[in-house]
Structure 1
Amino acid sequence: MKTIILIIIAYLLGSIPSGLWIGKTFYKKDIRQFGSGNSGTTNTFRILGVKAGFAVFLADLLKGTLATSLAYLPSVDTNPLWFGLAAIVGHVFPVFAKFKGGKAVATSAGMLLGYNPLFFFCSLALFLILLFITSMVSLSSMIAAVIITLSTFILPSILPVLLPEQDWLLSCIAVIVTAFIFYLHRQNIQRIRQGTESRISFGLNKQEKKK
């Protein structure tokens, strides 16, 4: 019963619509009505600016971390990843925002931070390198998700300092989350193919500022 209650709490933590609430409270905007119509980090950066974008990113990241950390409460004997997965589901399908949420990236990263901080920081470095190369958050997120998923299978045998042993639950959840990420980015994939995907003003292929 305790596990079920904590999973519900993890889902509710994930359901907190950071972008929506920050947009409405401080900018008087519902960001779902602008840009991609998404309430996640990238659309917040695009519509509300850098400060709001970072605030939403940190909030969405910490949702996953806090939810995952519920497993470390006294007398809880449940794998932290189950709570992290519940938070991810909450982020994508938030009960507080009519089940229309973000694209799972930041909260998934938060789960990884709560579960294996060293692996998280290596994954973050990978994402930043990809972002510098592509200047596209969506493409960097998808490529990073694939590489991180493959790493959960490979690293235990070649670099155990990051993943000391094969964790099949981590690998399975990574596969599920990666599939989620690709599905939720399906419109981005179409724009990437058409060469019309939005780019940020950072990296090798950055978007030039209009004069």
Structure 2
Amino acid sequence: MISIFSLSALLTAYLFGSIPTAVWIGQAFYGIDVREYGSGNAGATNTFRVLGKKAGISVMLIDIFKGYTATNLAYFIGISITGPHDSVQFVNFKLALGIIAVMGHLFPIFAGFRGGKGIATLFGMILAIHIEAALLCVMVFLVFFIIFKYVSLGSIMAGFTFPLSIIFIFHSPIRSMVLYGMCITVLILVTHQKNIERLLKGKESKISLFKKPQN
């Protein structure tokens, strides 16, 4: 039975995820709604593209923090609800909190339900769930990003890396973790559908760490 404490944690996780970092930073410091420029996405990549490196990095770090914090709300719920911290029940509750936070980022109540693609928030969740797999995903992302300069391609490849590493490298015995990893891949493919089309056509925008913002 779901308690008031677990429901409160899930609601809080959604509200954490709903913080529209890119929108608020753009409007507060630049007088710009990033959703009206570039790709129209309220995420770190578009912020980087539209407002520059400083704003983009700030949005990315805060969005990662959102996912990490929301997922770790499980530690504030009694073990009578979540089970011991090394139990499958506890991991499942962390997964639920993280997924809700990512949904909050995708559909933020504070920004008219027009959010980003959730990659940074998703990474924060993975970091809270399985730090070794998260770091491996970062390595894969950086390799593809540095070589090809496509954030979308790096994100997609990192998305594939997580379930594969969970299954074949870390041999997770938790079925829900494996299923979650597969769902991550599907989610990233769905949210990056337009990016994939542009990549195939050679029209995807490249991002350079040293490129000036396009205002």
- TM-score, length-scaled by structure 1: 0.88
AA of the residue aligned to 2:109:
V
- Offset at 1:104? 1.6
Which deviations, in whole Å up to 9, do the C-alpha atoms of 1:115-171 show, x marking residues without a partner?
2223222221221112112210001101110121222221234xxxxxxx3222122
Report the aligned-residue RMSD. Answer: 1.6
CA contact (8 A) 2:119 2:155 kept: yes
Moved more, 46-55 or 104-113: 104-113
Alignment pair present for 1:27 and 2:30: yes
- Offset at 1:74? 4.8
Distance 1:40 1:74 in 2: 30
Which deviations, in whole Å up to 9, do the C-alpha atoms of 1:61-114 show, x marking residues without a partner?
000000011011151514311111110111111111111111121111000111
Alignment pair present for 1:88 and 2:102: yes
Alignment pair present for 1:72 and 2:75: yes
CA contact (8 A) 1:71 1:80 kept: yes
Kindly report structure 1 stretches of 4+ aligned residues shifted beyond 4 Å: none
Aligned length: 197
Distance 1:65 1:36 in 2: 26
Alignment pair present for 1:172 and 2:168: no
CA contact (8 A) 1:91 1:107 kept: yes
Distance 2:31 2:110 in 1: 18
Alignment pair present for 1:5 and 2:19: no
Moved more, 70-79 or 110-119: 70-79
1:55 to 58, 67, 85: 58
- TM-score, length-scaled by structure 2: 0.87
Q: In the alignment, what sits opposite 2:131? A: 117
**1:102-141, aligned counterparts within 5 Å?**
102-141=116-155
Distance 1:180 1:14 in 2: 16
- Offset at 1:177? 2.3
Q: In the alignment, what sits opposite 2:85? A: none
Q: Which has the higher contact order (CA 8 A, sep 6+)?
A: 2
Secondary structure of the 1:182 match is: helix
Percent identical residues: 40
Moved more, 171-180 or 136-145: 171-180
CA contact (8 A) 1:156 1:166 kept: no
